[in-house]
Amino acid sequence: MTSSRKRILVTGGAKRAGRRLVEHLSASGHAIIIHANSNAAEADQLCETLRAKNPDTWSIHADLSDHSAAYALIDQAARLAGGPISGLINSASVFDYDAPSAIKLDVLDLALAVNLRAPALLSERFFAQADPARDNCIINMLDQKLWNLNPDFFSYTLSKAGLLAVTDMMARAFAPTVRVNAIAPGLLLPSFDQSQAEFEAVASRNPMGRPINLDDMTSTAEFLLGNTALTAQILHVDNGQRLAASARDVMFDARPAKGNG
């Protein structure tokens, strides 16, 4: 099913997986609002590049750890786009290392603020401004880790577990005006100090024996945005990675845990 044209806000849309989502959805003809915080310059540059083919492209800056900034973002995006937002992809995320035996309060607070509280507030406001005559869809970006738990990245995982619950509860509360779905990807891109070779080795440790194609993740997002029968669905784009139980996070392989905090 092809999707009708939407005005879509993509948080964290300047870099990594968020950027690929923006590029794909812009090429498909959707109006796109690219959110960024610390990568504001990259968001502005990406916006200018995409406008050459899709003039309905804007960039917007906000610190999602600030609850007031997060809550205001939907209305700001709607003003830029000239009408209600009909698609929201909660892609922005922080990913810092801690463990249950050594919880870092700053890591925990930031993960809960950016990965959980901000998507919840954005979704609340998205529902309030949604046009009930249109199809409206929220996509939350989760992680296959939730179905293959290990202690690594404790605060990050906890925040994503909360977002899984948000997806279910808001799908129930927002129907029939807004559909709420999620994507749970496996390892998509190198993290921290991983070399490309290290990444490809660990990213292939799944039942399919190969890294995930980022285009499969972006096409999944477009499918969810366009299929009006889907709500409260979690689509696992992970090459079956969640089926391969591991005592450690897959990115570490046999190396000691290492984060950036």
The model's pLDDT over 40-70, given as tens digits with 9 standing for 90+, comes to 999 999 999 999 999 999 999 999 999 999 9
Confidence bin at 3 (pLDDT 50/70/90): very low
Q: What pLDDT score was predicted for residue 197?
A: 82
Cα dihedral 172, 173, 176, 177 sign: negative
pLDDT greater than 90 at residue 202: no
Q: Which of 244, 175, 189 is nearest to 217 (CA)?
A: 189
Q: Angle CA(37)–CA(9)–CA(85) in degrees, nearest 5?
A: 140
**Higher-confidence residue: 173 or 253?**
173
Structural tokens at position 171: 């799908």
To which residue do tokens 């605060």 refer? Answer: 155
Residue 192 has pLDDT above 90, yes or no: no
Phi-psi region of 240 (alpha: psi -120 to 50; beta: other; left: phi over 0): left
pLDDT of 49: 97
Amino acid identity of 48?
A: E
- Lowest model confidence (mean pLDDT) among 48-62, 129-143, 200-214: 200-214
* Mean pLDDT (the chain, rounded): 93
Mean pLDDT (whole number) for 223-249: 94
Q: Kindly report the pTM of this predicted structure.
A: 0.93
Q: Using the 8-state DSSP alphabet, how is residue 183 labeled?
A: E
Pick 261 or 25 by higher pLDDT.
Answer: 25
For 35, 58, 80, 129, 168, the CA distances from 77, given in Å and listed in that order, are 9, 8, 5, 11, 25
257: pLDDT strictly greater than 80: no
Give pLDDT, residue 253. 55
What is the rounded average pLDDT of the residues 67-78?
97
Kind plus residue range of the DSSP H or E element containing 220: helix 214-226
What's the whole-number mean pLDDT along residues 138-157? 96
Structural domains of the chain ordered from first start: 7-252 (3.40.50.720)
Q: How far apart are CA 252 and CA 240, in angstroms?
A: 18
Overall average pLDDT of the 231-240 stretch: 97
- Let me know: does 234 contact 184? Beta carbons within 8 Å: yes
Q: How confident is the model at residue 131 (pLDDT cuts 50, 70, 90)?
A: very high
